[in-house]
Amino acid sequence: MFDKKYKKDIKEKKSAFQKKYERDAKELLYDPSKVRELVEETAEELNAIKEMEKKNQSIHRYVKKAYEEIMNDLGGEINASFIESELARRMANLSLIANNMETAMIYDFENFDFDRYIVLVRTQTVLGKTIGVRKRKKDEKDITLEDYISKLANDE
């Protein structure tokens, strides 16, 4: 959800940047004194696009890691049903939203939307109860050779 939104935002920013660049190039033909100003504006816009891309990657990494942790708690993707996998994905996204809301609360406590936050926490609680809050063991047959060797080395 967030990933698509940010990719769309980045694409729109790049498209707007391209159009502005073409317009500015034509303008420079008539008024070369604006070169420095346009170069500075261009650098600022490129930095803004890079920041958006970094944020998108950071969000993607966080949600992916949260999803993988939840799936590990469920005994691995092999042992989870499709519905559990989908609920785990929702839980990972809600975790990101909750963390963002908690950070916002620190910076702007007076304007924090506690009602939305409570609804989010309740939703996470229901999802947690639905998919389970206890870790499940992976089946021994699902363990890779590397995991088995590592387990043997740790036991010794």
Q: Determine the residue type at 19.
A: K
Domain boundaries, the chain: 2-155
Q: Is the model's pTM score more than 0.75? A: no
Q: Which residues, 6 or more positions from 73, have their beta carbon under 8 angstroms from its beta carbon? A: 132, 134, 135, 136
Q: In this predicted model, what pLDDT tens digit does every residue of 114-128 receive, in sequence order? A: 999 999 999 999 988
Q: Where do we find the tokens 């890079």?
A: 50
Selected residue with higher pLDDT from 145 and 59? 59
Q: Residue 125, Cβ neighbours under 10 Å: how many?
A: 11
- Give the Cα separation of 102 and 85 in Å (integer): 26
Amino acid letter for position 131:
I
Which amino acid, 20? K
